[in-house]
Amino acid sequence: MLFKILRAPEWARFEALGRFEGSADDLRDGFIHLSDAGQVDDILRKHFADESGLVIAELALGTDPALRWEPSRGGALFPHLYRPLLMADLTGWRLVT
């Protein structure tokens, strides 16, 4: 299972359009930043600590050819999606409290 953390306006846009082209960071880097189950809590702490209204989208991307595991901080592998995220990719979502 993979995860995408979205701010409230990003989630609202995603719901309205049925696709998500990416956050400002995603657009800058050329891919959608995702996390696996072991990374999502650390990402929340490091990058979203003082934010509210976050949504964690749960994704099932399987063997999607647009998904690549690439090194990031300290060489750890992170999932990066090289296409828009679609509502059809979601298996669920939850609000961060």
Q: What is the pLDDT along the chain (97 residues), one digit of tens a residue?
A: 999 999 999 999 999 999 999 999 999 999 999 999 999 999 999 999 999 999 999 999 989 999 999 998 788 899 999 999 999 999 999 999 7
Residues paired with 35 in a beta bridge: 3
Residue 40, amino acid: V
Report all structural domains of the chain as residue ranges with CATH numbers, in order of start.
2-95 (3.20.170.20)
What spatial distance separates the first Cα and last Cα of the chain, rounded to whole Å? 21
Q: What's the predicted TM-score (pTM) here?
A: 0.93
**Which single residue is written with the structure tokens 């298996």?**
91
> How far from chain centre, in Å, is Cα 54?
11
Give the pair of three-digit tokens for residue 11: 């989630």
pLDDT digits (tens, 9 = 90+) for 65-79: 999 999 987 888 999
